[in-house]
Chains A and B, each alone.
Chain A
Amino acid sequence: MKNPDKTEQIEIDMLLETIYRQRGYDFRNYARASLERRVRTQMDSFGLKYISELIPYMLYDDATFDSFLRNMSITVTDMFRDPHFFKALRTQVIPNFAALPYIKIWCAGCATGEEVYSLAIILKEVGLYDRCQIYATDYNTNSLDIAKNGQYPLDKMKQFITNYNKAGGNKIFGDYYHARYNFVKLHKGIREKIVFSHHNLVSDSVFGEMNLILCRNVLIYFNQILQNRVFTLFNESLANGGFLCLGTRESLEFSSLEPLYKKELVKQKIFRKK
Chain B
Amino acid sequence: MTQQEKNYKTIVIGVSAGGLEALSTILPALPQDFSMAVAVVQHMKEDGDNYLPEYLNRKCRLNVLEAKEKYSLKSGSIYIAPPGYHLLIERDFTLSLTVDPPVCYSRPSIDVLFETAADAYGQSLIGVVLTGANIDGSKGLKKIRKKGGLAIVQKPDTAEAQAMPSSAIEIAGADHILPLTGIGPFLKELGRIK
Q: Which A residues are within 8 Å of any B CB, using their own CB?
A: 5, 31-34, 36-37, 74, 76, 217, 220-221, 224, 247, 249-251, 253-254
Contact = CB atoms under 8 A, between A and B. Distances in A.
A34 B85 CA distance: 12
The 8 lowest CB-CB distance pairs between A and B, nearest first, are A33-B88, A33-B116, A31-B96, A34-B98, A217-B99, A33-B90, A220-B97, A76-B99
Given A249-B68, A254-B70, A220 B98 contact: yes
A74 B85 contact: no
Nearest to A163: B47
B82 interface: yes
A5 B12 CA distance: 20
Contacts of B115: 37
A32 B98 contact: no
B112 interface: yes
Contacts of B194: none
B69 interface: yes
A36 B112 CA distance: 11
B97 to A, nearest CB: 5
B97 A249 contact: yes
Interface string B94-113: 00111111000000000010
11 contacts: A31-B88, A31-B96, A32-B90, A33-B89, A33-B90, A34-B86, A37-B100, A76-B99, A220-B97, A249-B68, A251-B68
A192 to B, nearest CB: 29
A140 B112 CA distance: 24
Contact of B82 (A5, A33, A76, A249): A249
B121 to A, nearest CB: 11
Q: Considering residues B68, B98, B116, which has the most beta carbons from chain A within 10 angstroms of its beta carbon?
A: B98
A249 B112 CA distance: 18
Given A36-B116, A247-B99, 17 more contacts: A5-B122, A31-B88, A31-B96, A31-B98, A33-B88, A33-B120, A37-B88, A37-B100, A37-B112, A37-B115, A74-B99, A74-B101, A76-B99, A217-B99, A220-B96, A220-B98, A249-B97
Interface residues of B, number: 22
B58 interface: no
B110 to A, nearest CB: 14
A249 B68 CA distance: 7
A91 B112 CA distance: 37
Given A33-B119, A36-B119, A74-B99, A224 B82 contact: no
B140 to A, nearest CB: 12
A272 B91 CA distance: 34
A221 B98 CA distance: 7
Interface in B41-95: 68-70, 82, 85-86, 88-91
Of B97, B99, B112, B115, the most chain A CB neighbours within 10 A belong to: B99
B112 A31 contact: no
Contacts of A247: 99
Nearest to B120: A33
Nearest to A254: B70
B91 A32 contact: yes
Given A33-B96, A221-B98, A250 B90 contact: no
A221 to B, nearest CB: 7
A228 to B, nearest CB: 11
A249 B69 CA distance: 8
Nearest to B95: A33
A95 B122 CA distance: 52
B89 A220 contact: no
Contact of A74 (B69, B89, B100, B112): B100
A34 B122 contact: no
Contacts of A224: 70
B146 to A, nearest CB: 11
A249 B88 contact: no
A5 B107 CA distance: 27
Nearest to A8: B119
A5 B89 CA distance: 16
A153 B45 CA distance: 23
Nearest to B96: A31
A217 B82 CA distance: 14
Nearest to B89: A33
A244 to B, nearest CB: 17
Contacts of B101: 74, 76
Interface in B114-156: 115-116, 119-120, 122
